[in-house]
Chains A and B, each alone.
Chain A
Amino acid sequence: MTDDLTRTTAAQLADGLADGTISSVEVTSAYLERIAAVDGAVHGYLHIDGEGALATARRIDERRAVGDRLHALAGVPIAVKDVMVTQGVPTTCGSRMLEGWIPPYDATVVSKLRAAGMPILGKTNMDEFAMGSSTEHSAYGPSRNPWDLERIPGGSGGGSSSVLASFQAPLATGTDTGGSIRQPAAVTATIGVKPTYGGVSRYGIVALASSLDQAGPCGRTVLDAALLHAVMGGHDPLDSTSIDAPMPPVVDAARAGDVRGLRIGIVKELAGEGYQPGIQARFDESVALLVELGAEVAEVSCPNFEYALAAYYLIMPSEASSNLARFDAMRYGLRVVPERVADPSAEQVMAATRDAGFGPEAKRRIILGTYALSSGYYDAYYGSAQKVRSLIARDFAAAFEQVDVLVSPTAPTTAFRLGDKLDDPMAMYRNDIATIPANLAGVPAMSLPSGLADEDGLPAGIQILAPAMRDERLYTVGAALERALIDTWGAPILSRAPELAKGA
């Protein structure tokens, strides 16, 4: 156990809580102090619920004192992405549309965190309705990358990644529609997992694209992510797309981390042009380490991945345009009454509200989706994109006949500067090039740090992909690689992040 509780892993905190050497109130207070000291500069949180977190911590400490049987993570605090509804705690999705909204119920994931006795520190920042790769599309201002406060922490889950990398939470939740868990993990040297589609309930998670959205765990170690994955996952009758099957054994896999004899495929199409040299170099070294550990490596071709970005940016906006129709100014959220119209109709109120409440990226995607779904263009755009989706699923199926897992860099570049891609939507979208195929096919994927790029000293990420329902393989490979990398580095990578000024 290190002296600073905020630098301790969630697994170690759980052990310390279980054997009584620390209390949940101590841990939670340490994190709240850290938040007060550094989140002014990082802006990872949109809302901090110190009182609620401490109340949970006190209750868990009391229950432990009387010998109640508790969950393994009971008393370990967590940050929750602001796309998950929390009863009694504001939920904005990074949008003006939901400013001040207090949901009347909990998302299933949130219910599970509460049932496990995990104090919820607060709600983390995100691009509006999870649309973006930088948090710059948050209506409440961007989060900043703890490695360089002038750079993006990734998106949409940049709030969660930045609070983990700046030791403001030991664990966080995320959602991943096209890379929103994995790309933020890659650019902050943290770990993020998108489970198999249907592995974690979507009930109470504000939908972006329902056939792509998947919630998952974010942490600073592979084992921590596995422990959280086990809390979040499992069948939920309230989500009819939730998988009714036993959870993959992710914690056992993370503890074992044995890759001997495992067949690993390098995706040929996710390399080369557009990938920063330092990212490619760290990726190649990671693959070499896996070979040393006894894995077999081969190159695998997924020829239709070339079309994944185009298909994604038709399917996602199409589904988003439909999902975001719920923000109609009638039942909850913002209502703006147009000033220049006498006795405005519901439709006029709706249109004025949606103009005022949605930011530019949400509007762009809603209108793009409306176009892609309109008669006359449906076959050319949405229909073609759905066929490409079949081709990508076939590419994965063929690849997984040859190998057990696939690997690639997570994102083509390290963290870019705030503002660099804000005026060029396509440049922003290209960040997702390596993460999107997993969402289209529904397969699970993890990003973990592979080192720092030589050219800028910023974190690089490696992505592991597994067949649907075989999420444990991500943890097998992730844990083995993490251990080997820490051996070569001498310490966890986050120990190399710059110290943040306190009280900024």
Chain B
Amino acid sequence: MASLTRDDVAHLAGLARIELSDAELDRMVGELGVILDSVAKVQQAPIEGVSPMSHPMPLTNVTRPDVVRPGLTPEAALSGAPESAQQRFLVPRILDED
């Protein structure tokens, strides 16, 4: 398995929307390398022909009646918002200018 480079980690951090500092990047490259070497052990397990398991319980789709039930008021839903206006979440611009 190819080891992670500093550029790889920077790319992953971008995908995860975390702006890492240079010092954090340096540190994380080494740490992730050690962890990945260790978890790569899953590939040595006798998994040939084994089906993957995503959940501990065999579940079929769970539905409920489509009826109105009490929920949060707009005030309660907005109570933790960093900014709000006109009963809406106020967010920074979402489009690039160019």
Q: Which A residues are within 8 Å of any B CB, using their own CB?
A: 101-105, 197-198, 211-212, 237, 240-241, 243, 304, 306-307, 309-311, 313-314, 321, 325, 328-335, 337-338, 343-352, 354-355, 358, 360, 363-364, 366-368, 370-371, 374, 380-381, 383-391, 393, 425-426, 429, 440-443, 468
Contact = CB atoms under 8 A, between A and B. Distances in A.
Interface of B: 1, 4, 8-9, 12-21, 24, 27-28, 31-32, 34-36, 38-47, 50-57, 59, 62, 64, 72, 76-77, 79-83, 89, 91-97
* Interface-central residue, A197, A212, A332, A384, by most chain B CB under 10 Å: A384
Nearest to A390: B53
B39 A381 contact: yes
> Which 3 residue pairs of A and B lie closest in terms of their CB atoms, listed nearest first?
A442-B56, A332-B80, A386-B52
B72 A104 contact: yes
Contacts of B4: 371
B55 to A, nearest CB: 5
Contact of B39 (A103, A310, A352, A389): A310
A390 B81 contact: no
A370 to B, nearest CB: 5
B45 A387 contact: yes
Contacts, number: 186
Contacts of A333: 80, 82
B82 A329 contact: yes
Contact of B42 (A102, A311, A364, A443): A311
Given A345-B96, A346-B94, A383 B82 contact: no
B91 to A, nearest CB: 5
Nearest to B96: A345
Contact of A345 (B32, B35, B41, B93): B93
Contacts of B15: 370, 374
Given A386-B53, A441-B56, A355 B20 contact: yes
Given A331-B80, A335-B82, A390-B51, 18 more contacts: A102-B79, A104-B77, A105-B76, A241-B62, A307-B41, A310-B39, A311-B45, A313-B38, A328-B17, A344-B92, A360-B27, A364-B35, A374-B12, A385-B42, A387-B51, A390-B50, A393-B53, A442-B56
> Does more than half of chain A's interface fall in helix, strand or loop, or is it mixed?
helix
Contacts of A347: 17
Contacts of A371: 4, 8, 12, 32, 36
10 contacts: A102-B80, A314-B39, A325-B17, A335-B83, A363-B28, A370-B15, A387-B45, A387-B52, A387-B53, A389-B52
Given A307-B45, A332-B81, A363-B24, A370 B52 contact: no
B56 A393 contact: yes
A388 B45 contact: yes
B84 to A, nearest CB: 9
A390 B54 CA distance: 9
B91 A384 contact: no
A197 B54 CA distance: 13
B91 A330 contact: yes
Contacts of B59: 240-241
B94 to A, nearest CB: 5
B71 to A, nearest CB: 9
A118 to B, nearest CB: 24
Given A335-B83, A388-B47, A330 B53 contact: no
A391 B82 contact: no
Contacts of B43: 380, 384
* Interface-central residue, B27, B31, B89, by most chain A CB under 10 Å: B31
Contacts of A385: 39, 42
B80 to A, nearest CB: 3
B81 A310 contact: no
Contacts of A103: 80
A384 B47 contact: yes
Contacts of A330: 81-82, 89, 91
A333 B83 CA distance: 11
